[in-house]
Chains A and B, each alone.
Chain A
Amino acid sequence: EVQLVESGGGLVQPGRSLSLSCTASGFTFGDYAMSWVRQAPGKGLEWVGFIRSKAYGETPKYAASVRGRFTISRDDSNSIVYLQMNSLKTEDTAIYYCTRVVGWSLNDYWGQGTLVTVSS
């Protein structure tokens, strides 16, 4: 059974940093791209970015709203994908979901999400 478990969310002040983790199980992690999708309170889904598998050079891509502030990385030996968030803004407040990706944008499995609140 595919499982994705996010961790690391919490309350952080504007301008500070936070790192999220997503631990995967139930599939060969290294064969898949992984992405982060967020959802602000009461709002819709927003694609944050993804990182491709080693076979495709582990190339990350980011949404314009986070490019230059957020970094996605992966540890295939431990089946973990990370989201390093720097220079956080109040508008980054959201539930952050980790997803497994097939192809470019098919998010076939989702984690339960972790809440990030950016507030002073």
Chain B
Amino acid sequence: QSVLTQPPSVSAAPGQKVTISCSGSSSNIVNNDVSWYQQLPGAAPKLLIHDNDKRPSGIPDRFSGSKSGTSATLGITGLQTGDEADYYCGAWDSSLSAGVFGGGTKVTVL
């Protein structure tokens, strides 16, 4: 059981938009920044979004992040087959004094 809760899977057709939610609490998402990671099949995770809504250089603006209250959201627009991957949210949990991740969401392009 992960501290951060994500839907197991989302799907959409090419060119469409998907959103992935990440639900937490006051000890993690509310008071700490959220990061998002993309893990392509067979590869190591890669940073996609940091500080809730900031994209590292090289990440296309099709990827966006937001945070409100106890939840964060990753959005992917203009969905491409190359976006098929597992996506994880992560944050610091001040009560646990530990890093925490969501259980991951598998994105499928129909």
Contact A105 B102 (CB under 8 A): no
- CB-CB contacts of B38-57 with A at 8 A, as 1s and 0s? 01000011110011000010
Contact A106 B44 (CB under 8 A): no
Tell me, yes or no, whether B99 is within 8 Å of chain A by CB: yes
Tell me, yes or no, whether B109 is within 8 Å of chain A by CB: no
Tell me, yes or no, whether A111 is within 8 Å of chain B by CB: yes
Residues of B within 8 A of A35 (CB): 99
Surface stretch bound by B, among A12-20, A22-30, A39-47, A73-81: A39-47
Contact A97 B44 (CB under 8 A): yes
The main secondary structure of chain B at its interface with chain A is strand
Chain A nearest Cβ from B90, distance in angstroms? 6
Q: Smallest CB-CB separation from A44: which chain B residue?
A: B104
A44-B104, A45-B37, A45-B88 are known contacts. Are A107 and B98 too (CB-CB below 8 A)? no
Residues of A within 8 A of B46 (CB): 110
- CB-CB contacts of B68-100 with A at 8 A, as 1s and 0s? 000000000000000000101011100011111
Q: Smallest CB-CB separation from A99: which chain B residue?
A: B45
Q: Smallest CB-CB separation from B96: which chain A residue?
A: A64
What is B's interface to A at a CB cutoff of 8 Å?
2, 32-33, 35, 37, 39, 44-47, 50-51, 56, 86, 88, 90-92, 96-104
